[in-house]
Amino acid sequence: MDSPVQGHAVSTPDLAANAGGMIDLSFPHRWQAEILSARPAILPARHFVYPGNAEEVERGALEVLVRPEAAEAQQFLATCALGFRDPAVPTGVWSTPNPDEICAVSGGYAYLIDTAQPEVFTMISYRPVLQVFPVLAAELLLFVGHHSILAWGTSGQAWESEKLSDEGLTITDIEDGHLSGLGWQMLTDKEMQFTLDLRTGLRVL
């Protein structure tokens, strides 16, 4: 577990609370998930820990029981190591542009898990993710960090923006295939506007 977080966050759509986490099912999905308040006394036959090399992963971990809808798939328990014990960072479950993939976030540590093959996962590089932001029109799940934004699409990472801020980002608008926001510049001690092309992640302003 890392130290407390500093910085700004962006606003996201309303999420539903579920046993200490949030659930956002904006994208169509082929699985069901339940955030457990504690690890069950009897573990299911399939249990996966993310990431596999984490130390003391059980302490504060997010426990998610996942039930894939595929007939041949079995339910499994996903134990996701905690990043930061800080209310400023997200914890919960998000559907993704890929209907067979689930995004679990535990204290700002984000894991993209293939529900058909739970041993296959990606951990987002931001430590921490400050916000998770679904953009249905662009089929992207956005991960906002302190300095930049990473976009996840149907086939994995779609793009990562350049550095947009020295500390903290605010998304102000998404319209006509563009994302606009504000980033703080240390040299001027001011927030500067930026606009990204959602197709490429390239800065256009």
Q: How far apart are CA 25 and CA 101, in angstroms?
A: 12
Ramachandran quadrant class, 112 (left: phi over 0; alpha: psi -120 to 50; beta: rest): beta
Rounded to the nearest integer, the mean pLDDT of the chain is 90
Per-residue HEC secondary structure of 74-122 comes to CCEEEEECCCECCCCCCCEEEECCCCCEEEEEECCEEEEEECCCCCCEE
**Residues 20, 113: Cα–Cα separation, whole Å:** 20
List alpha helices for the chain, DSSP H: none
Domain range annotation of the chain = 16-125
pLDDT (tens digit, 0 to 9) for every residue of the chain, 205 residues total?
A: 543 443 333 333 434 545 569 999 999 999 999 999 999 999 999 999 999 876 667 788 999 999 999 878 899 999 999 999 999 999 999 999 999 999 999 999 999 999 999 999 999 999 999 999 999 999 999 999 999 999 999 999 999 999 999 999 999 999 999 999 999 999 999 999 999 999 999 999 8
Give the whole-angstrom CA distance, residue 166 versus residue 155.
30
Tokens of 65: 């029981």
User: Is-contact 170 182, C-beta < 8 A?
Assistant: yes
The two structure tokens encoding residue 185: 């510049």
Predicted structure pTM score: 0.90
